Amino acid sequence: MSGWNEAVERLRAGRAIALADEGRDGVAHLLAAGPEALPVLLREGRGPLTVVGGGEAVPPATGGLDVLLHAPRAGGTLVLPTVEAAAQDLAAAAAPGRAALLRAAALPGGVLARDGAVQDFAARLGLATLSIQDVVTQRLATETIVEEVAAATLPSLYSDQPLAVHAFRGLLDGTEHLALVRRPGGTGPLGPAPLVRLHSECLTGDALGSLRCDCGEQLRSALKLIVEDPQGGAVVYLRGQEGRGIGLANKIRAYALQERGLDTVEANTELGFPADMRDYGVAVQILKALGIGRLRLLSNNPRKRAALERYGIAVAERRGLRIGPNPHNATYLETKRLKLGHDLSAAGLKVASEP
């Protein structure tokens, strides 16, 4: 991958770059910040031309291509890390006010450039390459997207001494988040690698006792574990992440689809969403505000560890948080193991009543 500055300079000079998408279908895109590099997109791309934002009209000489107009989204990749948002952010950095032009990158023969082929594609054309994650990381390193707005103590069922509770507000969307911190002895400094759980909001599981998931039990177990840990720890409660990011009403719609036989991933897809839309940039800035740059992570999800490490958080250990299944969530947990890569053993997912 190229550096951020190199990619921005090339866009500013009217040249195209390659934009890699590590998620979704993995297809790379050609990106230009204005019409100067349009011939490269026409020659080396495939499919419709997407025009993102900018005050300009659709560029002329598009060779009869279908042109898709994509409205800019406030917050860009820090709200939703898509290829269109990354194009918006890069164009804004390189040439404010100009439209970003996107087209899927194609190898000779018309096959789309995916995954490992992206570097060869870019090398053949002498293009700088950047990934969506590079864009997110750059923005997180240079912008503040969350602020602490309140702090107090919280007597808790899970602790013999009150927990410290910190309230944060996202500056991009106003979503409020909490961090519950237990310090050794109640008031001592956190250890060099405190135990941390990043917990996505789940109203149905956390507050209403739903048996469809393991979220509520994971939250309660995490609170007990940080209290018991000699280094102390924190539970960062991330709101706005219902249903792996699809929202509360859509989660209920997904439940209805599951009642018709779809699994949790298939239901999200049927509703038009990726399997997992969550991003942990806000969580990283909350951790840094709490003075936590190195931690032991309470999670069954290896992708969560990878996300934190990409954002510069050192993860000394990932510790599983396994909850025994029940007849209502066994299929859900098995789907997370098979399709989302969660570290759950098949044997451990058998319901106790099964032979």
- Judge whether 65 is annotated as a binding position: no
Bridge-based pairing of strands 146-154 and 163-170 is antiparallel
- Judge whether 6 is annotated as a binding position: no
- Judge whether 114 is annotated as a binding position: no
Bridge-based pairing of strands 45-52 and 29-32 is unpaired
- Judge whether 242 is annotated as a binding position: yes
- Judge whether 215 is annotated as a binding position: yes
Whether the CB-CB separation of 94 and 11 falls below 8 Å is answered with yes
Q: 281 by DSSP, 3-state: which?
A: helix
Is 66 noted as a catalytic residue in this protein?
no
Residue with tokens 């890699």: 20
176, 205, 302, 326, 342 from 216: Cα distances, Å: 19, 5, 20, 13, 17
| Bridge partners (DSSP) listed for residue 102 | 31, 50
- Judge whether 190 is annotated as a binding position: no
Could you say which of 278, 279, 303, 318 is catalytic? 278
- Judge whether 231 is annotated as a binding position: no
Is 24 noted as a catalytic residue in this protein?
no
- Judge whether 42 is annotated as a binding position: no
- Judge whether 290 is annotated as a binding position: no
- Judge whether 299 is annotated as a binding position: yes
- Look up residue 172 and give its amino acid: L
27, 79, 83, 261, 279 from 271: Cα distances, Å: 22, 20, 20, 14, 19
Please report, for the chain, how many H helices and E strands are present, in that order.
13, 13
- Judge whether 244 is annotated as a binding position: yes
Could you say which of 276, 294, 305, 318 is catalytic? 276
Contacts of 179 (CB under 8 A, 6+ apart): 165, 166, 168, 234, 235, 236, 237, 286, 290
Which segments are annotated as binding site for GTP?
Answer: 197-201, 218, 242-244, 264, 299, 304
Which segments are annotated as binding site for Zn(2+)?
Answer: 202, 213, 215
Which segments are annotated as binding site?
Answer: 197-202, 213, 215, 218, 242-244, 264, 299, 304
Q: Which amino acids are annotated catalytic?
A: 276, 278
